[in-house]
Homo-oligomer: A and B are copies of this chain.
Amino acid sequence: MKVNGKSMRTIWLSDDGWSVEIIDQTIFPFCFETVRLQTMEDCARAISDMLVRGAPLIGATAAYGLALAMRKNDTDAALVDASETLHATRPTAINLKWALDRMRAVLAPLPSISRAKTAYAEAARLCDQDVAVNSAIGDHGLALIKAIAKTKAIGEPVNILTHCNAGWLATVDWGTATAPIYKAHDLGLNVHVWVDETRPRNQGNSLTAWELGQHGVPHHVIVDNAGGHLMQHGLVDMVLTGTDRTTANGDVCNKIGTYLKALAARDNDIPFFVALPSSTIDFTLLDGLRQIPIEERDGKEVSHVLGRAEDGSVRTVQLTPDDSPLANPAFDVTPARLVTGLITERGIAKADKQALAALFPERAVQAV
């Protein structure tokens, strides 16, 4: 999407044809800087230090990490070493392992001499496929926005509330929940986004608001507490979020607080949609509340916050009393009964087992 008026992706091959460039996402929303990765180790550091984040972008960075490794040393041993080093950066990231496995499956059988070239081609393909998946999600979601726009008086925007960052910064381009929004905006539809700040890590105001602002999409940042009130007063037409993991029956695990917005949407008869690449559906799970373990993260994320002081320095400040204990569950599960629909790259499915299995029969069968 656009940054300073120029279209870009989150990861791309440099003009030199071999090094890789990314956006440093650790310094948002106050600075915008790109970083050039010249070695596999640079890629590993970019992942572990969270210069890149978001499952698809982590996978893409790892894929290019293998390409850089093969360029330097294309032996079997180097391929194994590089894969292991990259995997160790964030061992729980499923997409990271998936990308590395895919690259190794392609590269391992090849003669050494052709590995580097093929690795670059495969990494580029992986990126293009991510863009295509998100673009397809965008097209399906766009139809929903168009339908709402038709019910609006002239000049009245379609108001979409989103939580956390399921934006292009987490993917190679488009994002998931943001893809329909960008498509609608680019078509000239009047869309306006309510951006939940998304405590405790504030991905809403540091990432989503930045993205939307750069691309020119009208929006307002709100505290997470405000969405229910806006819905009560007819100021939200649709809730649209991403998800980290969806069960076979349509339960949605996403950033903490998503469930509260789904409840408010239901109470006010507002559609609640979740956008996702089908790769994040876990067809082996049937009860998100019981089966998905929720990560309890460091309480310091609650007690401390990063921001820019008046002198321009970026600082961490403490919000809570010194001795107050903290709890910090990072995700929650929105039961399928509260989800109006799941927007996937193949189309929109009802959040239930039959509908998901009908859209992805090969996956559902495999999981049985």
Interface residues of A (CB under 8 A from B): 29-30, 194-195, 197-200, 202, 205-206, 209-210, 213, 218-230, 232-233, 255-257, 259-261, 263-264, 267, 289, 294, 302-310, 315-321, 323-329, 331-333
Residue of B nearest to A209 (CB): B324
Inter-subunit contact A260/B321 (CB<8 Å): no
Q: A221-B325, A232-B333, A264-B259 are in contact. Are A317 and B305 (CB under 8 A)?
A: yes
Inter-subunit contact B205/A260 (CB<8 Å): no
| Residue from the list B223, B260, B307, B333 in contact with A199, Cβ < 8 A | B223
Inter-subunit contact B229/A329 (CB<8 Å): yes
Alpha-carbon distance A318/B31, docked complex (angstroms): 13
Inter-subunit contact B325/A317 (CB<8 Å): no
- On chain B, the residues within 8 Å of A306 by CB distance are 317
Residue in A228, A260, A267 with the greatest tally of chain B CB atoms within 10 Å: A260
Alpha-carbon distance A237/B331, docked complex (angstroms): 21
Inter-subunit contact A303/B221 (CB<8 Å): yes
Inter-subunit contact B213/A323 (CB<8 Å): yes
- On chain B, the residues within 8 Å of A324 by CB distance are 29, 195, 205, 209-210, 213, 219-221
- On chain B, the residues within 8 Å of A210 by CB distance are 321, 324
| Residue from the list B219, B223, B333 in contact with A200, Cβ < 8 A | B223
Q: A228-B263, A256-B225, A329-B226 are in contact. Are A317 and B315 (CB under 8 A)?
A: yes
